[in-house]
Structure 1
């Protein structure tokens, strides 16, 4: 029978049989193992599961680094299999044709290297999208700052004009000046009424409009207040008359499920905002402050971290599918922050053609053994270009 080089890879040392295409199956009757053809599909499926992770992680943790881990694996193949044996004669039943074992190892490496490159590209695209979105948000915020939409200012003007007739009425003396003053004051109620009636109609009604105003970003503009939100907090601004300049002129009651804002006018209170909250809040982490003559600014800490569609029960709800649901960097924990920082660093390093974080880490490991006793590189200058390092080679 002629020699067939594809008959290589037929056995384990010590009388056990294996197959280059598959695993082992016990044959208890003959006291040895026989070849089972599992196929490349099954091998790839097994490689992508965590079936062997416990055993492999135990080895990796024991030896401490990837280089020694690979030595263990190839040492096992050397000691227990015919992986390194060569088929030199037609009658040989163990081993592989020259170069076949190396080709197998290289093929397996390249499969996962290709997958790692795809993962790399996916992370790069996601990072670019995040950076692009952040730039768009900053541009939108800058544009909104220039526009400075402030519907509350109209209400404040109306509030102040109501006080104008009082001194005119008190100082009326029947003179021409009084008549002129009355003539000037007369149009005020006329112009004030349309202004008051038109104000609600002029309020933004679409989420796209709300998103351009920092005070209603991810929130809305309502008749007597504006609100915005991020992943963990809500910001409410309730306009007040210009003469409200001290905290003692304001009454703010906040509970886990309700809110009430009023201003003191003599012995009575004028309620500006009141109602039940649509969700629970943390009262201990919530606070308010007065911007004299402008508004009461209230910060509410959400009881649970999800997006609100309204502040008060019964009010018009926003479409949360049209808001920006990205979490602020301030709400990201340390571990996630570290990952984002590393991705950003890798992105900029790649653009500049410099080593990325996984390469730098492996370079540090290689430097330690570069000049050690027995190293073939001892006495030479460390050259990182000699190594092609996959991102999967290092676990962060």
Structure 2
């Protein structure tokens, strides 16, 4: 996660201050999980794609609490695997392989036919029958993070990929002689990707042909050619989750080492408004100025100050003569 783990303190502190105690604060947090996620749903069968197995959600809460109580962990927020956030489908990796279907305009029938034979270039020299479960050098992820083409992803022999919580960008390198889209071979299915081209000898060169780690929205996927450089492919994830690899045969990255923060623009309008209000309140409190809910109350008091029947009618408004408690009750100062 980019930056310090306390980057959310202002927003969370605003919630805590509004609620007044830890119990109410936790009710807000778990209420959000109830309304906006499948945290409280219980999987009743193997075909269920939403929810958790019986008792798993409770275990997750206890596990996170235990991790955060261990003072030897310096960044406890990162101990929870970000790949388990969002929709939390547990069965996507078990979905049966389906017959590959190509995007409109990218089918094998539309590509030049293989007349001069074919050869296949492996997608990654590191891909062998004994694939390491993680990158052999953990510090390599820092190098990936410094490159926009592999941000939150990785660089492989023939391609590089980067990701946000919602989509993936893939750049597959091509020979400089590839200058037209009709020379490219791109086939994208919801769980499979195949990329290659026809070279100057009309040979088929396959650069990437593998199963995707998770499912994508096939209809939303697009690709384009940067002549003589690479084929750029954008894949929209079916679920909001962080991928440990683009394809199943490549080494996995450590998603705890990537930037798992999300911009506010990814949130819905209600959430953005609430976070903005909490950040404003925190700033106002530091400056000794009224917070948003206090300002609304003072605005109402100012309107009633000179109203008929008010003991202050005809006098200039003086907020120091009034006070508002945490429950919103207004009282007159003696």
Aligned to 1:12: none
CA change 1:253–1:391 in 2 (3 A) is farther
Deviations 1:101-121 (A, max 9, x none): xxxxxxxxxxx98973999xx
CA change 1:277–1:347 in 2 (3 A) is same
- Is residue 157 of structure 2 the alignment partner of residue 223 of structure 1? yes
Where relative contact order (Cα < 8 A, 6+ residues apart) is larger, the structure is 2
Q: How does 1:71-110 map to 2 (within 5 A)?
A: none
TM-score normalised by the chain length of structure 2: 0.54
Cα distance in 2 for partners of 1:213, 1:382 equals 58
- Gapped runs of 5+ residues in structure 2? 1-15, 24-124, 126-136, 330-334
Cα distance in 2 for partners of 1:219, 1:260 equals 19
2:237 to 302, 305, 312: 302
Aligned to 1:245: 179
SS in 2 for 1:344: helix
Deviation at 1:254, TM superposition (A): 1.0
Cα distance in 2 for partners of 1:265, 1:114 equals 65
Question: Does the 8 Å CA contact 1:280/1:302 hold for their aligned counterparts?
Answer: yes
Question: Does the 8 Å CA contact 1:256/1:280 hold for their aligned counterparts?
Answer: yes
Deviations 1:101-147 (A, max 9, x none): xxxxxxxxxxx98973999xxxxxxxxxxxxxxxxxxxxxxxxxxxx
TM-score normalised by the chain length of structure 1: 0.46
- Is residue 261 of structure 2 the alignment partner of residue 326 of structure 1? yes
Aligned residue-pair number: 206
Aligned to 1:275: 210
Deviation at 1:301, TM superposition (A): 0.8
Deviations 1:149-196 (A, max 9, x none): xxxxxxxxxxxxxxxxxxxxxxxxxxxxxxxxxxxxxxxxxxxxxxxx
Shift >6 Å, 4+ stretches: 112-115
2:188 to 242, 254, 257: 254
Aligned to 1:286: 221
Aligned to 2:198: 264
Deviation at 1:304, TM superposition (A): 1.0
Deviation at 1:263, TM superposition (A): 1.8
Tell me how large the CA RMSD over aligned residues is. Answer: 3.5
Determine which structure has more spread, i.e. the larger CA radius of gyration. 1
Deviation at 1:388, TM superposition (A): 4.5
